[in-house]
Every structure is written in C-alpha cells, then in structure tokens.
Amino acid sequence: MSYEELSHTADVKIRARAPTLDALFGEAFQALMQVMYGEDRGGGTSRTLDINAPDLESLICDFLSEALYVSEVDGLVFRQADVHLDGMQLYAILDGEPFDPARHKGTEVKGISYSGMSIQRDAKGYMLDILFDV
C-alpha cells in the first residue's frame, strides 16, 4: 500500500496503490489528510461514514468529500480510516483528534475533483489517480 504526489500545475494530484479496494480507499484518505494536516496526527475521537454511490469513482469522491466536510465542520484531524466496501456501499470509521494549528500544518483542500480520476486494476491490485482542488 502506498501513495505518492504527482506533478500538477495548480492542484495536488495523488496516485494511490493497494491490493484491495478497501485498502485503496484508505490510502486515498491518508493522502488527503497528509496534504491537509501533515504527518503529526493522533487519535482518540471517531466518526463514522456510511455512503452509497452508483459507481466506484462516485464512491471514492463522495467518501473523500464527506471526510473533508466532517474534518472542517467538526474541527477534527484524522489519522486513519477503517474502510469496508460492500458493492457500492462504503462504511468507514475515522479516527482522529481535534485540530491544533500549532501542529497540523498543510495545504487547504477545497474539494475532490472528478477531473482525471481513474481507478485501475492489475495483477498487483488497484491504482487510483485523483486530484485534490487546492
């Protein structure tokens, strides 16, 4: 499992890889939190997300958009997400802590884009390319 930032002119483009879709969604979530808040993220406060979508691209976009919303509205910084997919339904438990401006420094993400998004499968698992609007 891994993710990397790819070169992009204006926004943040991420490529995530994982052996399963559950893990791929978790890696994309980790990338989003890393971009927004850096590496110093603790736990102890949880939120749950339950999302349905018509296809995988919509599901990942809706999941990351909802995580972004909850993070901003509740003032929480998440360190991990335990993600479970059942068809086009996602259930996730997010673990995090209250936002601390002295510790949590990163780039403001305004939204998750469908532009250039792709989910591919090969013999090693899955790969996702996704763009974070900053």
pLDDT of residue 1: 47
pLDDT of residue 6: 54
Structural domains of the chain, ranges and CATH numbers in brackets: 2-133 (3.55.10.10)
pLDDT of residue 3: 61
Of the pLDDT bands very low, low, confident and very high (cuts 50, 70, 90), residue 2 is low
pLDDT (tens digit, 9 = 90+) per residue, 5-32? 555 566 888 999 999 999 999 999 999 9
Rounded-to-integer distance, Cα 47 and Cα 129, Å: 26
Of the pLDDT bands very low, low, confident and very high (cuts 50, 70, 90), residue 116 is confident
pTM over 0.95: no
Please choose, from the candidates 13, 14, 26, 18, the residue with its C-alpha nearest in 3D space to the C-alpha of residue 2.
18
77, 95 in Cβ contact below 8 A?
A: no
Tell me the mean pLDDT in the region 97-113: 92
Of the pLDDT bands very low, low, confident and very high (cuts 50, 70, 90), residue 87 is very high
Q: Which residues contact 25 (CB under 8 A, 6 or more apart)?
A: 59, 60, 63, 81, 83, 85, 90, 92
Residue type, 14: I
pLDDT of residue 4: 52
pLDDT of residue 9: 61
Torsion sign across C-alpha atoms 128, 91, 54, 111: negative
Q: What is the mean pLDDT of the chain?
A: 91
Highest mean pLDDT: which range of 2-6, 35-39, 41-45, 54-58: 54-58
Q: Which residue has the tokens 């993070």?
A: 71
